[in-house]
Chains A and B, each alone.
Chain A
Amino acid sequence: MAKKKNTQAAVEWDYSPSPESTSHIELKSKYDLYIDGKFVKPSSGKYFASYNPATEEKLADVAYANEKDVDKAVKAARKAYTNVWSKMEASERAKYIFRIARIMQERSRELAVVETLDAGKTIRESRDVDVPLACNHFFYYAGWADKLDYAFPNRKVEPLGVAGQIIPWNFPLLMAAWKIAPALAAGNTVVIKPAETTPLTALILAEIIHEAGLPPGVVNIITGYGDTGAAIVNHDDVDKIAFTGSTAVGKIIQKAIAGTGKKATLELGGKSANIIMDDAPIDQAVEGIINGIFFNQGHVCCAGSRLFVQEAVVDIVVKKLKRRMDTLILGDPLDKNTDIGAINSKEQLAVINKYIKIGIDEGAEMYQGKCVIPEKGYYCPPTIFTDVAQSSTIVQEEIFGPVLTIQTFRTVDEVIQKANNTPYGLAAGVWTDKGSRIFNLTTKLRAGVIWANTYNKFDPTSPFGGYKESGFGREGGLHGLSAYVKLK
């Protein structure tokens, strides 16, 4: 029987644009400081602009706080701590924190869209990861507020006092939640500064906190640059510094507070190893590599930026990785189908491009995902480097962008040695089908967080933090709570 040949051509089927609506967003043209329960103008009268990195358009002007404003905020926090918050019944404190969580959930769509506008991250991530996780942190720690005696049995639990908190631009709202929620639950008051490129969701959080009726001064949200942060760190009446950001700034903070009696939690950089063993489920491992390094454009302190692949499977892993990279959709972060959004700022894009150039100059083999880069905005295609060595600059230094280095190894001992051979120690990933291999590696890798057959999974109940130059102290879970209490 003669039959038609199967000669139908490949079908072009592209997803139509599917942008998340911004019509429900009403950004103010100007945002003030939130101090002592009021929105107040900065004493210098100065403002700076926050931009949408995907379009380079200005979103709003934001107050620039100086030392005087910081002093005002710390005084308000001290007053609220002494007179109200530390004296309040713990179950009452819990109610306020629950209320913040619930209002955040109600306004989650708005928060997600503003986060995407301000930070350049995809709406898929801000909607499905950042905002729900931020809400969950408040819910989780609200639950602990009146159970501190059970969190630390047989100890007398006291708050520390006023916490000065400085957060980065990669997960603006989520980092604010990580910092504020445990501090409040333990009975501390807060002065927090979001990063200068991404202040907007923290300022919406100020509105939410205001709406929740939190007593004035319990949470103060002030915006500014590095000097504003320095003023918080150096203020005499701050009891605790919590900082997430670069290792360089972390070192400055540690020097500044040496001998002051201020407690600190520092969550700094990383160059985390993602290790693929020869018995790993390859397709899922490839997906884990993608999630490890391209999640949030690689602006993740625990990004799996150093990939180690056992030599028996390196060819197939690299082949599949390249193929998968070509299917990633780069573009408008507001489009629901976008996988890779915009780089957070022009400055960061310059840093990433500098490292890409170093990689090429060092003779590494580069591959970039096939994507069309929009004309406006700051974008970097997903990038991998093979033919690199432990001694390559791009292997040693944190790039904080969608750039992966791929090294090979032969034996388990070799990969443990190489993975640990770094000043950092934030996270690691292990991919293998064998349970015993997982336990062997997880006990020997010097990293604060180790994922097995997954990567970049976060949960409010799970502690997060690093070894060595990746910082100290833990956030999340009971460990995160203990960073905000004095135990007697």
Chain B
Amino acid sequence: MNKKNGTANHRIPDFSLSPRIDKVGVEERVSRFQTRSIKTSAKLQGLKMVLNMIDLTTLEGKDTPGKVRQMCYKAQHLHDYHPGLPSVAAVCVYPTMVGVAKKGVEGSGVKVASVSTAFPSGQAPLKIKLADTKFAVSEGADEIDMVISRGKFLRGEYNYVFDEIAAIKEVCGDARLKVILETGELVTLDNVRRASDIAMYAGADFIKTSTGKIQPAATMQVTYTMLEAIRDFMDETGIKVGMKPAGGISNSKLALHNLVMVKEVLGGEWLNNDWFRFGASSLANDVLMQIMKAETGNYQSSDYFSID
């Protein structure tokens, strides 16, 4: 397994002193990433990377084994008419669907991620969150996507949030832990930065923007702020943490601009699905459409791409 993300040997900082973030400055920086022009071979390479970084997701009350099985098939067969395409990185489901998903992707290398900790609100006692997580792990989840207690965070109870993450991390075993900050509820970039720091020092293997249930979700401003936090954490501890923007990234251009941001803030070591993921349900087909356009010169109707 990837190295345990233990920060035992590192001084835990005072999170109320996390670096300040200037929103106007962040917007300006982000707009520069957005003016990067990604063309021809760089575009094609980028699009294929995007496909391989997707966590194909279904998180609905109406999810059924049937739906999950179909999604798992799609995860491995994005567009069989075009050979040589990668599979997605993972499928992301509720804990009750982990068993089905595990079977669905068996032997393909596609991972199974499970949300947990009373996703999406996180409004449950720690005991239940731990049980939720243990169940998902026991069903075979390779990755756990937990949510933080935003209510506690906004009340300034940073130690509670920290301890909760650390406790969940302990029951994850070999599963990698993604910590969802739900930035749409944290509102300010100062809060996003602070929550990122808390999550990483508490043992997150990945930090993730959103559940997808709250708007705004993975804006570039938020993702940029989290990437800088990851860079600083790496500088401070030598520990590499992954990033997963989720929610709202539904087209190729935005996805490529996210990759630009990763490249220019963290570098090429983060440009693979061990360290960067997109949480998305509709992104894959837009990327496929752009890849086919790049290779054939024509846009095809969306009916030529299977929805799941």
Question: Across the two chains, which residue of chain A brings its CB closest to B46?
Answer: A13
Which residues on A sit within 8 Å (CB–CB) of B19?
281-283
**Interface hub of A6, A18, A288 (most chain B Cβ within 10 A):** A6
A10 contacts chain B at the CB level, 8 A cutoff: yes
Contact of A288 among B1, B25, B274 (CB under 8 A): B25
User: Is A281 touching B20 in the complex (CB atoms < 8 A)?
Assistant: yes
Contact of B42 among A15, A282, A284 (CB under 8 A): A15
Is B22 in contact with A284, judged by CB distance below 8 angstroms?
Answer: yes
A-B Cβ contacts below 8 A, count: 90
A1-B174, A3-B174, A13-B42 known; A284 vs B271 contact (CB < 8 Å): no
The interface bits of chain A over 30-49 (1 if a CB of B lies within 8 angstroms of the residue's CB, else 0) are 00000000000000000000
Expressed in whole angstroms, the Cα–Cα distance for A269 and B271 within the complex equals 44
* Contact partners of B38 in chain A: CB under 8 A: 15-16, 18
A433–B24 CA distance with the chains assembled, in angstroms: 13
The reply to whether A3 and B1 form a contact with Cβ atoms under 8 Å apart is yes
Cβ of A454 within 8 Å of any chain B Cβ, yes or no, is yes
Interface residues of A in 279-318 (CB under 8 A from B): 279-285, 287-288
Give the total of A residues in contact with B, Cβ under 8 Å. Answer: 32
* In the assembled complex, A375 has its CB within 8 A of some CB on chain B: no
Contact A454–B25 (Cβ < 8 Å):
yes
B24 contacts A11, C-beta separation under 8 Å: no
Q: Within B1-34, which residues are at the interface with A (CB < 8 Å)?
A: 1-2, 19-22, 24-26, 28-29
* Residue interface bits A316-337, CB-to-B below 8 A is 1, else 0: 0001000000010000000011
B43 — which chain A residues lie within 8 A by C-beta?
A: 16
A336 and B45: CB pair below 8 A?
Answer: no
- The answer to the question of A14 belonging to the interface, with a C-beta cut-off of 8 Å to chain B, is yes
Beta-carbon contact of B274 and A8 below 8 Å: yes
Q: Which of B69-77, B115-123, B194-202, B262-270 forms contacts with chain A?
A: B262-270
A247 contacts the other chain (CB 8 A)? no
CB nearest neighbor in B for A287:
B29
Asked if A24 is at the interface of the complex by the 8 Å CB criterion, the answer is no
Contact of A281 among B22, B49, B272 (CB under 8 A): B22
Neighbouring A residues of B135 by C-beta, 8 Å: none
Q: Chain B residues with Cβ under 8 A from A454's Cβ?
A: 24-25, 28
A464 to chain B, nearest CB (A): 20
In the complex, the answer to whether A279 meets B20 with C-beta atoms within 8 Å is yes
Do the beta carbons of B24 and A16 come within 8 Å of each other? no
Hey, what's the 0/1 contact readout for B245-278 against A, CB within 8 Å counting as 1?
0000000000000010001100111011111000
- B268 near A284 with CB under 8 A, answer no
Query: What is the CB-to-nearest-CB distance from B76 to chain A, in angstroms, rounded to a whole number?
Result: 17
B41: interface (CB < 8 Å): yes
- Distance in angstroms between the alpha carbons of A11 and B263 in the assembled complex: 9
Quick check: B20 and A13 within 8 Å, CB to CB? no
A13 with B49: CB separation less than 8 A: yes
Would you call B35 an interface residue if the criterion is a C-beta within 8 Å of the partner chain's C-beta atoms? yes
Whether the pair B22, A453 counts as a contact (CB closer than 8 A) is yes
Q: Check if A121 is an interface residue, CB within 8 A of chain B.
A: no
Please, how many angstroms separate the alpha-carbon atoms of A336 and B45 in the complex?
Answer: 19
Complex contacts, A12 vs chain B, CB 8 Å: 268
Q: Which residues of A contact B275 (CB under 8 A)?
A: 6
Instruction: Assess whether B174 is in contact with A6, with CB atoms less than 8 Å apart.
Output: no
Determine the main DSSP class of A at the interface with B.
Answer: loop
Q: Which residues from B are CB-within-8-Å of A283?
A: 19, 21, 25, 29, 228
Q: Is B37 an interface residue (CB 8 A)?
A: yes
B41 contacts which chain A residues (CB < 8 A)?
16
Contact check, B271 vs A10: say whether CB atoms are below 8 A apart.
yes
Complex Cα distance A284/B228, Å?
11
Residues of chain A contacted by B22 (CB below 8 angstroms): 281, 284, 433, 453
Given A16-B41, A124-B35, A288-B25, A11-B272 contact (CB < 8 Å): yes
B155 contacts chain A at the CB level, 8 A cutoff: no
| CB-based contact B264/A327 at 8 Å | yes
Closest beta carbon of chain B to A133's beta carbon, Å: 16
B39–A16 contact, CB under 8 A?
A: yes
For residue B152, CB closer than 8 A to chain A, the reply is: no
Alpha-carbon distance between A124 and B32 when the two chains are bound, in angstroms: 10
Is B67 in contact with chain A by the CB < 8 A criterion? Answer: no
Q: Is B213 an interface residue (CB 8 A)?
A: no
- Given A10-B269, A10-B271, A15-B37, are A453 and B20 neighbors across the interface (CB < 8 Å)? no
Docked CA distance A10–B263 (Å)? 10
Chain B residues with CB under 8 A of A5: 1-2
* In the bound complex, CA of A453 to CA of B29 (Å): 13
| B35 in contact with A11 (CB, 8 Å) | no
**B142 on the interface (CB 8 Å rule)?**
yes
Q: Give complex CA distance A16, B39 in Å.
A: 6
A5-B2, A8-B272 given as contacts; is B36 within 8 A of A15 (CB)? Answer: yes
Q: Contacts of B263 on A, CB cut-off 8 Å? A: 13
Alpha-carbon distance A15/B41, docked complex (angstroms): 8
Q: Which of A3, A13, A283 has the most CB of B within 10 A?
A: A283
A10 and B267 within 8 A (CB): yes
Inter-subunit contact A11/B271 (CB<8 Å): yes
Q: Is A11 within 8 A of B49, CB to CB?
A: yes
**Is B40 an interface position by the 8 A CB rule?**
yes
Provide the bound-state CA to CA distance between A327 and B37, in Å: 15
Q: Which residues of B contact A17 (CB under 8 A)?
A: 39
B153-183 vs A, CB cutoff 8 Å, 1 = contact: the mask equals: 0000000000000000000011000000000
CB-CB under 8 A from A149, the residues of chain B are none
Is B42's CB under 8 angstroms from A6's CB?
A: no
Q: Does A128 contact B (CB under 8 A)?
A: yes
Q: Which partner residue on chain B sits nearest A124 by CB separation?
A: B35
Taken together as a complex, chains A and B put the C-alpha atoms of A327 and B29 apart, in Å, by 13
Within 8 A of A (CB), among B31-71: 35-43, 45-46, 49
Bound Cα distance from A261 to B273, whole angstroms: 72
User: From residue 42 to 68 of chain A, which have CB atoms closer than 8 A to chain B?
Assistant: none
Minimum distance in angstroms from A162 CB to a CB of chain B: 41
CA–CA, A132 and B53, complex, Å: 38
In the assembled complex, which residues on chain B have CB atoms less than 8 Å from the CB atom of A124? 35
What's the nearest-Cβ distance from chain A to residue B44, in Å? 9
Nearest-Cβ distance from residue B272 to partner chain A, whole angstroms: 4
Q: Is the CB of B26 within 8 A of A284?
A: yes
Instruction: Report the bound CA distance from A8 to B274 in whole Å.
Output: 7
List, sorted by A's number, 29 A–B pairs whose CB atoms are closer than 8 Å: A1-B174, A3-B1, A3-B142, A5-B1, A5-B2, A6-B274, A8-B272, A8-B274, A10-B271, A13-B46, A13-B271, A15-B37, A16-B40, A16-B41, A18-B38, A280-B20, A281-B19, A281-B20, A281-B22, A281-B25, A283-B21, A284-B22, A284-B25, A284-B29, A287-B28, A336-B36, A453-B24, A453-B25, A454-B25
**B→A interface (CB under 8 Å):** 1-2, 19-22, 24-26, 28-29, 35-43, 45-46, 49, 140, 142, 173-174, 228, 235, 259, 263-264, 267-269, 271-275
Given contacts A8-B273, A287-B28, 13 further A-B contacts (CB under 8 A): A1-B140, A1-B173, A10-B267, A13-B271, A14-B42, A15-B36, A124-B35, A279-B20, A284-B21, A284-B26, A336-B35, A337-B36, A433-B20
The 9 closest A-B pairs by CB, nearest first: A284-B25, A11-B271, A6-B274, A10-B268, A18-B37, A281-B22, A336-B37, A8-B272, A16-B42
